[in-house]
Structure 1
Amino acid sequence: MYFPESDHLFTGVDYKTGKISWKLPTPGRIREFQIVNNHIIIASIDLYGIMAIHAHTGKILYELPLHSDKNCQVDFAPRPIGFDETYFYVANFNCSLISAYEISSGKKIWSKTESASALYNFTVAGKYIFLGYNLHNNDNLSGEIMLLEAHTGKLLYRQFALFDIFTDPVPYGNKIYYHTYDYRLQELDVENKTERTLFTFGKSNDFGGNQIYRQDHFLFLQDIQYNILKIDLHTFKKEIFDKGHKGMLGVYKIKDKINLIY
């Protein structure tokens, strides 16, 4: 198990024995991290940058410092991280929309730059990266979704969308499901580069700000009335699965029974 013990200490614990494996002093708070290739931790550190840590020993493998210029500023925002077998990808980092780095060395492979003031979120789906952003301009909200080739950064598809950056997009098969600020659940077919609206919600029954969780071929989401909605991705039927009074934090399955985490 790995966790930031404080703003300046990152800790690895052997969960079988409960003993501390290592402690690593850090130059700031780790706000986001992922374990890639089963043994490398890619961590985003406030006001510092990216650090690669060996998960078994706590040794620092390489560092990618933050820098600011006239086009962007260093901030406290967590930087979304995704990965595949070869590269890891990070958004909102060093004036880039999204960048790809080699996991083993930290070498930059490619990067794309768009509006420095926009906010981004993305997911890695096989050989693709699905990315969305939104941009506030006075009282107006605008945004786009993009589909990139993961290993080259080549732009394959882009479309206007009021993309909700706080709800993580969810891949399933060759489809990506995402939420928009105009109360829609969208489906993007990454192979055919087509999309459609699955459901349109409203102010009173939207799920904005909550996450979409997938279990098997079902999506689970919680609306603002605390209803847990279950959507079948084979039939696209929607039903109320549960009525809760707390926020849903996850979905898991044991012995063919689906359980919710509150």
Structure 2
Amino acid sequence: MRCLSPLFFFALFSYAQAQSSAKQTIPDFKEKPSVHWTFRVATPIIASPLVSDNLVYFGALDSTFYALDTRSGKISWKLKTRGQIRSTPLVTGNILYLNGGDGNLYCLDKMTGKIKWTFASNGEKKYDFADYHQSSPILYNNTVYFGSGDGNVYAVKADNGTKRWSYQTGNIVHTTPAIDNNKVFVGSFDGYVYALDVASGALVWKFKTLGHRFFPAGEVQGSPVVAKGLVFIGARDYNVYAIDQNKGYCHWNKAFTRGWGLANTIHDSVLHIGGADERVLIAAVPETGREYWKKPMEFLIFGSNAYSESMFYAGTTIGKLHGIDARTGEKVWTVTTEGYSKNRLKYFKPDDAYRDDIYTIIKSNEHFLEVEYELGGIFSTPAITPDLLIFTTTEGTVYCLRR
């Protein structure tokens, strides 16, 4: 199932109408927030934080899951697993579900970290060095759904960890599932997007990506988002696809020329697309893909956005968190990491363009990732509350910003 890219058009008036149609509860951080506290671990943090009841939860590449007090930044409790944690936890009531990075799904008491039960998959693994995230668990009808490095999508009973069903794809599943209209949507590194029956796990349809000369399999690395009867998902073949939720065919696709568009979010009936190597941020009409606006970014985007009334907040892998006007795409303010401030001139000019001798300094893709780690790159989605913005970085620091 394949499709060609449509023409894209600018429609600011329609965008303003779409933005005004939804009610938000978190006021905008219109002024640049200040650092309330920081917390440091010894390894990079790829996973996104989650806030619940004055605790912020996150996992790190040191195989440890942390719960910090949002008021002080001090550890409330922590749990050691046997694998690097690259996913976001799920909280419901007093229960927390965690993909531990070691092939186990953990059910924990969110206040104490006490393990209630674990579910073991057939093991976790990475596809390659650029396989940054793992699948995060989601909850629907007392069932927890998640993908695994063993190639399976799992549905597990939320109360006792018993498996309801599993579905085997052709490769690693590190996308976070999305559920709508009795279907579970996931992408696999085998190059397919899958729609599965939410109750039985039976295949409803699967969609094959186009592939690319550098990535002929068209590995699906971006997580799906669902709206307007469509599934939006990015793959390594430089495409973002809008796939019919019921029949599995492509309505439109956005083709990039320089790299991946894996970070996609829907808010107020607007699709936001983060282009990685393209270094752009796009606001588009979900039904057609036509652009409201398209803004340059100084570096790569791999995390999703956090939203308030009329702004959103996005991080880049150079170590910058931006507060952005959702209507226009203009940056309102920027917070930089310590790693960026300390190390950026090793690799960049003052305007964040690469140094002229950069290819004598960075000689491989793996080294490029190490540089992003050094800069305190933001690969995660910020957590937002009425008073706080919290984000994690690859320098191993959690930043808590206060209004």
User: For the superposition of Structure 1 and Structure 2, which TM-score range results when normalised by the shorter chain?
Assistant: 0.7 to 0.9
Indicate whether 1:220 and 2:316 are aligned: no
**Deviation, structure 1 residue 100:** 0.2
By percentage of residues, which structure has more strand?
1
**Deviation, structure 1 residue 57:** 1.1
- Among candidates 118, 124, 141, match of residue 225 of structure 2: 124
Q: What count of residue pairs does the alignment treat as equivalent?
A: 242
TM-score, with length taken from structure 1: 0.77
**Deviation, structure 1 residue 105:** 1.0
Q: Quickly say closer, same or farther: Cα 1:89–1:225, change in 2 above 3 A.
A: closer
- Among candidates 6, 23, 26, match of residue 121 of structure 2: 26
Residues 209-252 of structure 1, C-alpha deviations (whole Å, 9 max, x = no match): 54242222322223455332211113433122423324444434
- Structure 2 unaligned segments of length 5 or more: list them: 1-95, 126-133, 339-375, 392-397, 399-403
Q: Quickly say closer, same or farther: Cα 1:12–1:18, change in 2 above 3 A.
A: same
**Deviation, structure 1 residue 61:** 0.5
| CA RMSD after TM alignment | 2.9
Which structure has the higher relative contact order (CA within 8 Å, separation 6+)? 2
Rounded Cα–Cα distance in structure 1 between residues aligned with 2:100 and 2:318:
35
- Structure 1 unaligned segments of length 5 or more: list them: 68-73, 136-142
Indicate whether 1:147 and 2:250 are aligned: no
Rounded Cα–Cα distance in structure 2 between residues aligned with 1:53 and 1:117:
29
Task: Judge conservation of contact 1:210–1:221 (CA < 8 Å) in 2.
Answer: no
Q: Quickly say closer, same or farther: Cα 1:162–1:91, change in 2 above 3 A.
A: farther
- Among candidates 87, 93, 105, match of residue 10 of structure 1: 105
Pairwise mapping of residues 162-201 of structure 1 onto structure 2 (< 5 A)?
162=257, 165=260, 167-180=262-275, 181-201=277-297
Query: Could you tell me which residue of structure 1 aligns to residue 184 of structure 2?
Result: 88
Rounded Cα–Cα distance in structure 2 between residues aligned with 1:226 and 1:19:
34
**Deviation, structure 1 residue 197:** 4.3
**Deviation, structure 1 residue 189:** 0.4
- Among candidates 162, 178, 187, match of residue 59 of structure 1: 162
Residue type of the alignment partner of 1:218: M
Q: Quickly say closer, same or farther: Cα 1:234–1:62, change in 2 above 3 A.
A: same
**Deviation, structure 1 residue 167:** 4.5
Worse-matched range after superposition: 99-108 or 143-152? 143-152
By percentage of residues, which structure has more helix?
2
Q: Quickly say closer, same or farther: Cα 1:91–1:77, change in 2 above 3 A.
A: closer
**Deviation, structure 1 residue 4:** 4.5
